[in-house]
Structure 1
Amino acid sequence: MKLTAIAIDDEPVALAVIKNHAAMVPYLEVKGYFTNAFEAMDFLSKEKVDLIFLDIKMPDISGLDFISSMPEPPMVVFTTAYSEHAVKSFELDAIDYLLKPFSLIRFIKACNKVHNLWLLKQKPVPAKDVPDYIFVKSGYEQFKVILDEILYLESAGNYVNFVLKDRKLLSRLSMQEAMDALPGGLFTRVHRSFIVSNNKIERADRNALYITEMPIPIGAAYAEAVEELLLRR
């Protein structure tokens, strides 16, 4: 089964670029290319797709208004020559934002983001298979730690501090070993020295995430993972 999409852009040349790039993505099936947004709207009323490649600047209706008008929109990747719309596009939960002219590599990167999210939706992890606790060795003892009590993990030399709601546990682990011990999808490494519990993030800015008002720095190498995490929230 392939990821299905349509592309909407009032410029035929821009659609041709998407068509050429899409032909290079094996898991992607583009079911239609539209220069008229209302024709695309009519198509979507009859057939569902997983993704829309959507131009923002169009003559009759903007891409932002188009997606806002849909009660249950599919995933969207905005395409535009105007960078000033980036913030608004992410407010609408866009998966990515392609600034024209974009390369094949940049297009594939956006498709990969969408595909990863699509695969998660196709194969949700059954709740019974997700443990709600782990055992953490601290000193000579093993402590049962409920996952929901973990706020974040912080590197401390050759140790990792598990920061919980009401206590801390220091364990002799590397950050990678700690990450491997945690169930996938619930925690994200956001810095070489920090792993956060995804659902404990209260707010974020360009440089940090905040958990109980504690600023957790975002490392440059992990910025893309943080961006994807915030888009999923």
Structure 2
Amino acid sequence: MKEIMPLKCIAIDDEPLALELIRTYASRIPDIQLLCTFEDAVSGAEYLAGKSIDLLFLDIDMPDISGIDLAKALKNKPMIIFTTAYKQFAYDGFELEAVDYLLKPIDFQRFSKSVFKAIAIRNSKMQAPPTEDDAAIYVHAEYRAIKILLRDIEYVESMEDYIKIHLTEGKSVVTLMSLKKAEELLPDTQFKRIHRSYIIPLAKIRSVQNKKIQLHQILLPIGESYAEQVKKWLINK
């Protein structure tokens, strides 16, 4: 498996204070490397033409070239997180498939959430087809990428904006991710959603009775809206 390297980033913003804030926030996250910053879009575009980066923090409202126009003009487009003080640009940003859209003033929690989203996208593209024993996913917790072997997952629990991945030996990992995203990340042949709050590994099912599933370590309910599909894949299991 490839070594997980920090994301190479640059930032383009005509406000020096905004760039200083990005530099400060980036220095607190080991999984990204801010290579340089630019106060005008032209200089930033020239740099991008000759360099390969992973992530671009890009202001939208700039005097020479707007961030939207710059993003459209890039041939080798990196992942982009737009930064701006104006809500009306959000639709344009998402139309360009930006990783995220940060509204100024940006706090660190919101900044880190966007960065971890970009890291997760990069890591998912890097994951090579694994063998059954070493199959794993990467999630972010405590400002670092954590490798979780699929065979160690007991079940996944929703905690609003976060999920809690319960592991063998009573361990767990909490990460900023929706249960829907976790469902997409985990292989459908091995993991199924049984409730609005739970995803389980099929291999850990011990019994099913009275709309509840007994796993190795816990008894979980089957949600009403999932009952029929659970019944179908249990029959075909």
**TM-score, length basis structure 2:** 0.55
| TM superposition shift of 1:87 | 1.4
| TM superposition shift of 1:47 | 1.1
Partner of 1:64: 68
Task: Indicate whether 1:82 and 2:90 are aligned.
Answer: no
Amino acid at match of 1:40: G
Partner of 1:27: 31
Distance 1:114 1:39 in 2: 24
Amino acid at match of 1:101: P
Please point out which of 19, 22, 47 is paired with 1:15. Answer: 19
Distance 1:27 1:86 in 2: 26
Provide the secondary structure at the position in 1 that maps to 2:129.
Answer: coil
- The structure-2 alpha-carbon separation of the partners of 1:123 and 1:83, relative to structure 1 and needing over 3 Å to count, comes to same
5+ residue gaps in structure 2? Answer: 136-186, 196-208, 216-222, 227-237
Distance 1:117 1:57 in 2: 26
Amino acid at match of 1:57: D
1:7/1:52 contact within 8 Å kept: yes
1:175/1:193 contact within 8 Å kept: no
Aligned-residue CA RMSD (Å): 3.5
Partner of 1:116: 120
| TM superposition shift of 1:72 | 2.7
Listed one character per residue, the Cα deviations across residues 56-102 of structure 1 (whole Å, up to 9, x for unaligned) are 00001111110000123000000000011111111100011110001
- The structure-2 alpha-carbon separation of the partners of 1:6 and 1:192, relative to structure 1 and needing over 3 Å to count, comes to farther
1:95/1:113 contact within 8 Å kept: yes
1:77/1:94 contact within 8 Å kept: yes
Distance 2:102 2:49 in 1: 26
1:45-60 aligned within 5 A? 45-60=49-64
Provide the secondary structure at the position in 2 that maps to 1:107.
Answer: helix
Distance 2:73 2:214 in 1: 43
Provide the secondary structure at the position in 2 that maps to 1:102.
Answer: coil
- The structure-2 alpha-carbon separation of the partners of 1:176 and 1:19, relative to structure 1 and needing over 3 Å to count, comes to farther
Partner of 2:47: 43
- The structure-2 alpha-carbon separation of the partners of 1:154 and 1:53, relative to structure 1 and needing over 3 Å to count, comes to same
Distance 2:43 2:17 in 1: 18
- The structure-2 alpha-carbon separation of the partners of 1:14 and 1:154, relative to structure 1 and needing over 3 Å to count, comes to same
Provide the secondary structure at the position in 2 that maps to 1:112.
Answer: helix
Distance 1:99 1:176 in 2: 45
1:108-187 aligned within 5 A? 108-125=112-129
Tell me the number of residue pairs that the alignment of Structure 1 and Structure 2 aligns.
Answer: 152
- The structure-2 alpha-carbon separation of the partners of 1:88 and 1:175, relative to structure 1 and needing over 3 Å to count, comes to farther
